């Protein structure tokens, strides 16, 4: 997409400069062909291809990346309030809710149920997935998947008041083996 854009940009600006500064440039092309060629035949195929690719890519991301998952996704909940995120783990018996840090296992698709009870926030972990809004009165779902253990930074990306810039959180990905232990330890604290 980036390379294509650079090409198109150079094409249009180049054409502008050429028509202005190179005498008789493009005179042999009839106005009609200029318009039909550049205005319709140039953009249409590109847009068509791009739109379908985006649709396919969107479906892929909605599954949380990866192939069709065999395992059902692990469900967790993210609840935004002014100005912190609270996470709970309905699929894991006895897990206590955490705030500011979301613990997930690696190699498994996680389905996050995103909600809010005050204003609109938006849940975003740039390195793992796109964003989804937390809207009071609605629940939204986002799937993501971390293949490697580690800390992934997250932010609130919808303006939600003076604490917006500080409404950060961390997604901590643990290997499958460590995961339960990490959650239990979190509860013990």
Partner 1 sequence: MSRSGEQHRSPVASHHALERIWETKPGWGRLAAVNHNTVGKRFMLTAIVFFAIGGILAMLIRTQLASSKSAFMDAEQYAQVFTMHGTIMMFLFAIPFFEGLAIYLLPKLLGTRDLAFPRMSAYGYWCYLFGGSMLIVALLGGVAPASGWFMYTPLSSSVYSPGINSDVWLLGITFVEISALSAAIEIMVTILKLRAPGMSLDRMPIFAWYMLVVATMMVIGFPPLILGSMLLEMERAFDLPFFDPTRGGDPLLWQHLFWLFGHPEVYIIFLPAAGAISTILPVFAGIPLVGYRIIIAALVSMAFLSFGLWVHHMYTVGIPHVGLSFFSAASALVAVPTAIQIFAWLATISHGTPRFSVPMLHIFGFFFVFVIGGLTGVMLAMVPFDWQAHDTHFVVAHLHYVLVGGFVFPMLAGIYYWLPHISGRRPVQHLSHAAFWMVFIGFNVTFFMMHLTGLRGMPRRVFEYPPEAGWEVLNFISSMGSFVMAMGFALIALDFILIFRFGRPFRRNPWRAGTLEWAMPTPPPSYNFASLPIVDRRADLLEPDRLGPLLASGQGYLGFTRNGRMELLGVEIVSGRPEQVVILPHRTYLPLVAALTTAAFFLSILFKLYWLAPLALAATIIVFLGWTRDTALNHDTGLLAIGHGQALPSHIQAERPPSWWAMVFAIIADITAYVSLLFGSLFLWISAPNWPPQQGLEVGSAVPFAVLAVALGTIVLAGRMASASGRCRAGWLYLAVLAHAIAAAILVWLALFVAPDPRTHAAAASAFVVLLYAALHHGIGTVFAGYGIWQIRKGFVSDKRNLDLRLGEIWHTYSALLGAISALFPVLLAGLISGGSP
Pick from 97, 150, 163, 187: which binds partner 1 (CB under 8 A)? Answer: 163
Question: Does residue 160 belong to the site contacting Cu ion (CB under 5 A)?
Answer: yes
Question: Does residue 133 belong to the site contacting partner 1 (CB under 8 A)?
Answer: yes
Q: Is 59 in a helix, a strand, or coil?
A: helix
Question: Does residue 3 belong to the site contacting partner 1 (CB under 8 A)?
Answer: no
State the CB neighbour count (10 A cutoff) for residue 107.
Answer: 14
Token digits of residue 54 = 């985006």
Report the alpha-carbon distance of residue 49 to residue 67 in Å, rounded: 22
Question: Does residue 189 belong to the site contacting partner 1 (CB under 8 A)?
Answer: no
Q: Which residues contact 3 (CB under 8 A, 6 or more apart)?
A: none
**Which residues are paired to 115 by β-bridges?**
79
Instruction: Name the binder of 147 from partner 1, Cu ion, none, CB < 5-8 A by kind.
Output: none
Pick from 3, 27, 148, 188: which binds partner 1 (CB under 8 A)? Answer: 27
Between 5 and 189, CB nearer to partner 1: 5
Question: Does residue 104 belong to the site contacting Cu ion (CB under 5 A)?
Answer: no
Pick from 45, 50, 150, 185: which binds partner 1 (CB under 8 A)? Answer: 50
Contact (Cβ atoms closer than 8 angstroms) between residue 64 and residue 76: no
Using the structure block, give the residue that is written with the tokens 């949380």. Answer: 64
DSSP class per residue in 63-110: TTSSSS-SSPPEEEEEEEETTEEEEE-TTSTTPPPEESEEEEETTS-E
Give the binding site for partner 1 (CB under 8 A): 1, 5, 8-9, 12-13, 15-17, 19-20, 25-27, 29, 31-32, 34-35, 37-40, 42-44, 47, 50-51, 54-55, 57-59, 61-62, 82, 118-120, 122, 124, 126, 129-133, 135-138, 140-141, 153, 155-165, 168
Give the binding site for Cu ion (CB under 5 A): 121, 156, 160, 164, 167
């Amino acid at each position: 997409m980036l390379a294509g854009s650079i090409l198109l940009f150079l094409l249009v600006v180049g054409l502008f400069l050429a028509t202005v500064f190179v005498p008789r440039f493009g005179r042999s092309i009839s106005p009609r062909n200029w318009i039909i060629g550049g205005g319709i035949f140039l953009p249409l195929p590109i847009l068509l291809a791009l739109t379908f690719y985006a649709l396919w890519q969107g479906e892929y991301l909605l599954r949380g990346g990866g192939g069709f998952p065999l395992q059902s996704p692990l469900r967790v909940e993210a609840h935004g309030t002014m100005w912190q995120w609270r996470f709970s783990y309905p699929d894991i018996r006895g897990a206590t809710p955490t705030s500011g840090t979301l613990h997930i296992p690696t190699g498994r698709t996680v389905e996050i149920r995103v909600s809010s009870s005050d204003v609109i926030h938006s849940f975003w972990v740039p390195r793992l997935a796109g964003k989804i809004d937390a809207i009071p009165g609605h629940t939204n779902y986002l799937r993501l998947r971390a293949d490697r253990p580690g800390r992934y930074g997250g932010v609130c990306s919808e303006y939600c008041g003076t604490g917006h810039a500080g409404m950060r959180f961390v997604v901590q990905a643990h290997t499958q083996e460590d995961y339960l232990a990490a959650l239990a330890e979190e509860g013990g604290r």
